Amino acid sequence: MDAQTPGTEELNLPQAFLLLATNDKHGTLEVPVFALRTTLAGAILAELDMIGAIHLEGKHVRATGTTPGTDFQHELDLIRHKSRPHTPKAWVSMLEGRAEVQRVYEGMVSRGIVEHVGEKHLGVFQTVRYPEKDHAPEAALVQKLEAALSDTSAPPQVPESAEAVSASQDAGAPDAAAAAGVPDAAAAKPAAKAHEPRILALIALLEAAGLLSRLFPAADRVWADELAKDYWPARAVEDELRMIRLAEEEAANL
């Protein structure tokens, strides 16, 4: 299976982030709700980037000419048909919201990963929680994250989108060298970091949300911070969260 395109049983990035940001037993949030919504919006951008549906062109997010299948067609259509381009931070601000969070949760409910639990107050549903029902997807995810976080000897490698990987493969330089009998030095030794682009993207998003150190206390925070700053969806999340916190501090001082 191509690591760039999620299969039928693979979590997309918003699902993966939301699963890790939710308490397994109680279905409560492990981060403040504003951080959850903001990071989920960044995860949606990261997912669309991973499948080659959007890319960063200069300072703006633009839709590509490809039309891959995605659970986030509505968000892709918004980006594609917007009258003028916007920055990643602007898109994070526009995409964050309760409805997006609920839709991703309900997608995992339909797959039997979490369950929808409603709590009533005076006969009316006031709170909805999503405790874990099937631990296997999260266990597999954590295993991959731990493997990536255990190897941070090389500089952080920004996750490549499907479009970038395809362009690199189309270049065909290594094949040409092999045909000429010239050994490929890059292929002769293993890559310093061969982790899945999706896992690297998820690490960057978890760091941006302030969740990585809680889930993985031994993680190299310097390495993860560099990765988050270099990966544009995670950087947009950090920028938006910084603005939200500044606004809250100013409001508290009024």
Q: How do residues 1-32 score in pLDDT, each as one tens digit?
A: 344 444 336 899 999 999 999 999 999 999 99
- Which parts of the chain sit beneath pLDDT 50? 1-8, 173-192
Contact 92, 240 (CB under 8 A): yes
* Model pLDDT, residue 166: 55
Closest CA to 33 of 80, 83, 101, 81: 101
Closest CA to 245 of 35, 20, 30, 10: 35
Q: Beta-carbon neighbour count of residue 34 at 10 Å?
A: 14
Alpha-carbon distance values, 20 to 27, 72, 84, 111, 112 (Å): 11, 20, 34, 16, 16
Enumerate the β-bridge partners of residue 127: 119
Q: Tokens 């960057």 map to which residue?
A: 204
Whether the pTM exceeds 0.95: the reply is no
* Model pLDDT, residue 153: 80
Alpha-carbon torsion (206, 223, 159, 153), positive or negative: negative
* Model pLDDT, residue 225: 96
Instruction: Assign 125 to helix, strand or coil.
Output: strand
Fold of 13-164+190-252: yeast vps74-n-term truncation variant fold (1.10.3630)
Q: Where are the domains of the chain?
A: 13-164+190-252
Q: How far apart are CA 174 and CA 83, in angstroms?
A: 41
